[in-house]
Amino acid sequence: MNEELRQALHQGEQLGLRYALQIPQVAASGLVGSRLGRRAGSSIDFQDYREYQPGDDLRFIDWGIYARTDRLSIKLFREEVTPHLDIVLDGSRSMNLEGSSKARAAGELAALLAVAAANAQCSRAVWLSGEGFNRVANDTHPPPSWNGLQFESARTLDQSCEILPPKLRRLGVRVLISDLLWPGNPVQTLRRLREGAAALFVVQLLGRDDANPPDHGSIRLVDSETGEQTELFVDSTVKKQYLENLAQWQQAWDDACRQCGARLTTVIAEDLESSLRELEAIELLSPA
**Domain spans, the chain:** 3-28+83-287, 36-81
pLDDT tens per residue, range 91-126: 999 999 888 899 999 999 999 999 999 999 999 999
Predicted local confidence at residue 25, as pLDDT: 67
* Partners of 87 in beta bridges: 126, 175
* The model's pTM: 0.80
More confident residue, 238 or 26: 238
Candidates 82, 109, 110, 106; CA nearest to 96 is: 106
CA distance 200 to 211: 24
C-alpha span between 207 and 209 (Å, rounded): 5
Half-sphere exposure of 87 (CA within 13 A, CB side): 28
CATH topology of domain 3-28+83-287: Rossmann fold (3.40.50)
Does the pLDDT of residue 233 top 90, yes or no?
no
pLDDT tens-digit map of 137-182: 999 999 999 999 999 999 999 999 999 999 999 889 999 999 999 9
